[in-house]
Structure 1
Amino acid sequence: MRYLFPGMDPYLEGYLWPDVHLALAAQIRRQLEPFLRPKYVARLAIRMVGDAAEGIEIAPTNGDRPGSGSQPDIEVVKRMPPARAAVPSAPFAQSSLPISPPTAVLTLPEPIQRRLVTVEVRDAASNELVTAIELISPTNKRMPDLHRYRSKRRALLTAGKNLLEIDLIRRGTRPFAFSGMPAATYAVALTRSDNPNRVEFWALNLPDPLPVLPTPLLPPDPDVALDLGSALRTVYEEADYDLSLDYTQAPPPPALREADASWLATLLSGSGLR
């Protein structure tokens, strides 16, 4: 099915997001590469993070067809307690106070190992990082990775790198915030290495088309255009995501604003999906 949305499809924010995230990063690289060579290259940098959250982006929710799609690879690691040296037993005092029973005994979920991908534009000759393109994941928007991401962000800017951040996820805490930043459902921010105190910001709401973004290179080379809307449309249609989504249901949480919900209902009804 062709991609219907002018901008972001909120149904992609559910359990399909890990697949969308990886595919979109690869498509961004594919789109940029012809305009980077021979001086620059685009590489995919993958890091694994442990996520102990319940993973609502994986488990099918409203808007997802239960049982469709697949989960990312999961690695469960059990840490063995360190061996203790034997010590002679000795008598110790006993309290006569009765111990209060707990209200509940909870079993916490094992951390899920998630792949997070950064598209890195590098100098072909020196392999020096020039621009990092971060596709924000739900994992980046909650603790503890929210703290790790912000530390990584500061390190990139301190090192004098360009940073393009793309947040197409509604839930969680946005990992970048600036004075005077307009409120928006989705957001893109570009911080250039030559002026880290100036941020180019794209505020995006559900009906808005995804922008064509600048990808900075080393001076005096001009920016390379990144058509984010075209990249997402290509990924959606190549992966047949419509076969895994139920557009008769509400999209994954959080709930849409009333105006956005009305706009969405009109779009889907006009397309025969509701």
Structure 2
Amino acid sequence: MKYSPFPGMDPYLEEPKLWQDVHNSLMFVLREKLTPVLLPNYTAELETEIIIDQILPEDKQHYPRAYKPDVSIINQPTPQDRGCVALAKPIINSPIAFEVSMPIETDVRMVSLKIRHRESRKIVTAIELLSPINKRQGKNRDKYLQKRLDYVEAKIKLVELDLLRKYERMPFEQELPEMAYFVVSAKRLRQFDAWAIQLHHRLPIIPIYLQEPDPPVSIDIQDALDTAYERARYDLRIDYTKLPEPPLTEEEITWIQSTWSFK
């Protein structure tokens, strides 16, 4: 099976052991497919940022380094265990002995795509594919939210692809529908075209807005993902006999199980 069996986003690609590779592969393909439609006035360029991330306990199996829990309780020996005679003493609240460990950190290379005007070298549009490091509550989410504001201040239009079901969505003024995936493309600095996507939906063809008065160009997100999947042969790394992580909704499970047979 060379191609993903899903018509849209493949939820198995969201697994932590795969996502970073999927992220980078998709960004490379997006650059490749955008370049010919942007010429001669614009170029699409990849930029890499190294971010320090903490490994969560639920993701520990995906990292080669040993991982210890933050807190472990140690049983304290009783006087009888030590071969001593217990004397009657008042009951005293004793401190609990335990071990602690520092959180494990890892370097994550985040790739984004910048569209520049070829002559002025000015960035006109930025394409960001969200990762868990952007979406989880904490300092890295805060940094990304600031990055969004920085784009507005610099008059850079933002295209944001959220192909992860896990963690909180990025904020917008309007309440977002309860859907699996979400894509936005800024036609003005704070105004976006938006697509809410379910598991059984094909990923959209979206406009990429450029510097006025130049017209937008289009990019087929589904075609780009299918190309990345085929080239990386993710089918050889995915066990489709099991349900994916993170967990699906009951409706999604019903749809998948009606489409294929799981062992």
Ranges of 4+ aligned residues in structure 1 off by more than 6 Å = none
Give the structure with the larger strand fraction: 2
Q: Which residue is equivalent to 1:33?
A: 35
Structure 1 residue 158, shift from structure 2 partner:
2.0
Q: In terms of mean alpha carbon deviation, does 212-221 or 168-177 score higher? A: 168-177
Structure with max Cα Rg: 2
Q: 1:258 aligns with which of 250, 259, 263?
A: 250
- Paired residue type of 2:35: E
Q: Is the 8 A contact 1:165 1:190 kept in 2?
A: yes
Alignment of 1:7-26 (within 5 A): 7-14=8-15, 15-26=17-28
Q: Which residue is equivalent to 1:66?
A: none
Separation in structure 1 between the aligned mates of residue 33 and residue 227 of structure 2, nearest angstrom: 11
Identity %: 37
For structure 1, the 5+ residue unaligned runs are 61-70, 75-97
Q: Which residue is equivalent to 2:184?
A: 189
Alignment of 1:91-240 (within 5 A): 101-102=95-96, 104-142=98-136, 143-192=138-187, 194-196=188-190, 198-240=191-233
Aligned CA distance change for structure 1 residues 174 and 105 (closer, same or farther; 3 Å):
same
- Paired residue type of 2:49: R
Structure 1 residue 40, shift from structure 2 partner:
0.5
TM normalised by structure 2 equals 0.83
Separation in structure 2 between the aligned mates of residue 2 and residue 115 of structure 1, nearest angstrom: 26
For structure 2, the 5+ residue unaligned runs are 66-91
Structure 1 residue 58, shift from structure 2 partner:
7.7
Q: Which residue is equivalent to 1:268?
A: 260
Structure 1 residue 181, shift from structure 2 partner:
2.3
Aligned: 1:6 with 2:31: no
- Paired residue type of 2:30: I
Structure 1 residue 128, shift from structure 2 partner:
0.5
Aligned residues: 234
Deviations 1:14-40 (A, max 9, x none): 110000000000000000000111210
Alpha-carbon RMSD across the aligned residues, in angstroms, is: 2.2
Separation in structure 1 between the aligned mates of residue 60 and residue 121 of structure 2, nearest angstrom: 35
- Paired residue type of 1:144: K
Separation in structure 1 between the aligned mates of residue 135 and residue 28 of structure 2, nearest angstrom: 22
Structure 1 residue 144, shift from structure 2 partner:
1.8
Separation in structure 2 between the aligned mates of residue 55 and residue 240 of structure 1, nearest angstrom: 28
